[in-house]
Structure 1
Amino acid sequence: MPESRRQALTPDALLMMDTIARCGSFAAAARELGRVPSALTYSVRQLEEALDVLLFDRRSRQAQLTAAGQELLNEGRRLLAEMDAVANRVRRVATGWESELTIVADGVVSRLVMFELIEGFYAQRMADGQPPGTRLKLRREIMAGTWEALVTGQADLSIGVMLGGTPQAGIELQPLGEVEFVFCVAPHHPLAAGDAPLTDEQIFAHRAVAVADSAQRMSPVTVNLLPGQDVLTVPTMAAKVEALLRCLGCGFVPEPQARDHLRAGRLVARQVARQRVPARFGYAWRRNAARGQALQWWLGQLDSPTTRAALLDRHCGLLEPLE
């Protein structure tokens, strides 16, 4: 590769491409990066000249990538993730404790138990009596979003990943447990009455409530929706339960998260004719020979069958969704 091209492909240039693509316009990206739009446009042109390619379609009013631009974006994101991973590994080797640990939890995972684990983590003391210096970042992702955060380097540990496929190279995976999903409606919903299992035709006639898959780049997962059915899409499982309580639709909910509402009569569970099996979940982390002590602590907690069961089953005590 000519020296000018190598010099042009800096981390700042790759980050600039990522920001423009994510924001959808040069103006929005300039605001996020703290630059004026003209300076950002000039930087893009310099990069295009160095690479001798067009990265954006000038005929579009939006920041529309060309095929070459999309390839640079994909590879750039991978390189940025690798650079972050290298920096993290260097810090881990030096201190033994990660400077930062990012944990992703799916919507099926108990927020209450997650915060209990965080309390236990901060209660630790090292040999000198000081707490570990690792900064924890807790994120909520949905379905394929839990995998995406891990494989793109945005997370160190994902709890509640959906099982079924083969994990990517470099990913360690262990089972977390199974969760039964129940079909729920409000007591005054048209589907609440009756004893016979509901057919797909009966369900199709009513609006479904679905939680949006949070994946941005990986293929999103669609579960329990019928083709062509009217859908209300919400961001979290807590929001889905709220929508069901307000009779805004029908849908499947993890039984532990619906349990108290079912007992109190605020929701009604109906059997469905479609054959169903419990959903299987796991936890996964990136394979790393220099694994830090913070990640080791969390994996040690997840070794406990009691902890794994609680993460899927104990959903009382917190009402506000974790964003």
Structure 2
Amino acid sequence: MISALTLEQLRVVVTVVDEGSFSAAARALGRVQSAISQSVSTIEEIQGVTIFDRSAYRPTLTETGRVLVDQARHVLASAARFERIAQGASEGLEAELRLTIDPLVPSEPLLRALQDLRDHYPDLPISFSTEALGGPLRRVRDGTAALGVCTLLPTVPDDVQVYALMRTHMLPVVARSHPLASLARPATAMDLADHVQLVLSDPDNPSGPNFGLASPRVWRFADLNRRLDFLAAGFGWCRMPEHIVAAYLADGTLVRIEVEEDTAPKEGLPIYATHLRQHTCGPATRLLLDRLQFHAEYRAVTLAAN
């Protein structure tokens, strides 16, 4: 019966295995040997199994015992993690950190910041989602995410607190087989209007605002990678984050085009960390914000140096 088991009994079994004998386990746990032997015998009797073969000088695990000891280690590790999470919560640490990320956000600063967070709070549960355009802000507003990392267009809303992180350069690109790739001059508004523009749209609000539209012929995508597939296949042109298309530009799959009187911001789209103004950040959120800003600044310095 599982209800008759205690963590202490499981700890005794594991200690016997780790120490090599009942007497050594007793010394390690500060108990008498008879108590250790009785604890093991009780588990075996209740569960109807033999964990240790006692026919030799030292007890050895049976086949069943090997399996059960592995399970006991998992249970003890889970119990220890339970205690650490509960202790953290009692000290004000978030029970869970829920994040939502725009796919336009470069991964490297985010990954480094999350590694720093995991090093500091290894047991903190983190939930993570990636959504385009209005998705992250929507998740922050409805409370399903505590922190969003995203673009905020056309303006920063009044109900959120923002922390400037970095900028993402959006490059106008086409497949090398696309007619725009063979222009020997900057593309005019008329040139762009003659071809399909591949546009990212908010799947929950497809009729919402779109920015940078230059063609009446629009194919809409909710998924950035799907749009990249269609772009590389030559179905149209669009602006893509530089960090995503860099490898495609390097191997010639994609070609960057020049745009006459380009109105896109030369400094790139701003990326923010954001949460509701009314939301009080816990220590894990504050640490993540700090590390995001640090690694984003390091990325900017590195890019400028190169």
1:162 aligns to 2:162 (yes or no): no
User: What's the counterpart of residue 6 of structure 1?
Assistant: none
1:296 pairs, out of 246, 264, 286, with: 286
Instruction: Provide the secondary structure at the position in 2 that maps to 1:174.
Output: strand
Equivalence for 2:208: 220
Counterpart position of 1:110: 106
Correspondence 1:137-156 to 2 at 5 A = 137-156=127-146
Letter matched to residue 251 of structure 1: C
Deviation at 1:163, TM superposition (A): 5.2
Counterpart of 2:55? none
Letter in 2 for 1:145: G
1:259 corresponds to which of 246, 253, 271: 246
Distance 1:187 1:219, change over 3 A: closer
Which one-letter code corresponds to 1:141 in the other structure?
A: E
* Contact kept? 2:212, 2:264, Cα under 8 Å: no
| Cα distance in 2 between the residues matched to 1:207 and 1:227 | 7
Residue 208 of structure 1 contacts residue 232 of structure 1 at CA under 8 Å; is this kept in 2?
Answer: yes
State the secondary structure of the residue aligned to 1:146: helix
Measured in 2, the distance between the counterparts of 1:164 and 1:93 equals: 38
**Does structure 2 conserve the Cα–Cα contact (< 8 Å) formed by 1:176 and 1:309?**
no
CA–CA separation in structure 1 for the residues paired with 2:156 and 2:177: 42
Q: Name 2:232's counterpart in structure 1.
A: 245
Aligned pairs for 1:93-132 (under 5 A) are 94-125=90-121, 131-132=122-123
Q: How far has the Cα of 1:184 moved from its partner?
A: 0.7
Deviation >6 Å, runs of 4+: none
Q: Flag the 1:219–1:276 CA change in 2: closer, same or farther, 3 A.
A: same
Question: Share of identical aligned residues, percent?
Answer: 20
Quote the Cα distance in structure 2 between the aligned partners of 1:242 and 1:113.
Answer: 25
Query: Structure 1 residues 309, 262: closer, same or farther in 2, change over 3 A?
Result: farther
Relative to structure 1, the CA distance from residue 255 to residue 248 in structure 2 (aligned partners, 3 Å threshold; closer, same or farther) is same
1:190 maps onto 2:186 in alignment: no
Give deviations 1:217-254, integer Å, cap 9, x for gaps. Answer: 6973312223632x222222222222111112111111
Match of 1:284 in 2: 274
Query: How many angstroms apart in 2 are the aligned matches of 1:118 and 1:153?
Result: 21
Return the offset for 1:187. Answer: 0.7
Q: Helix, strand or coil: the match of 1:162?
A: coil
After TM superposition, give the deviation of residue 290 of structure 1 in Å: 4.5
1:307 to 273, 281, 296: 296
Select which of 189, 195, 220 maps to 1:200: 189
CA drift of 1:269 comes to 0.6
Q: Which runs of 5 or more residues in structure 1 are unaligned?
A: 1-90, 126-130, 315-323
Distance 1:233 1:309 in 2: 34
Q: Please identify the structure whose Cα radius of gyration is greater.
A: 2
Gaps of 5+ in 2: 1-86
TM-score by length of 2: 0.61
Aligned mate of 1:179, from 168, 172, 176: 168
Superposed CA RMSD in Å reads: 2.8
SS state at 1:284 partner: strand
TM-score by length of 1: 0.58
2: CA distance, partners of 1:94 / 1:221: 44
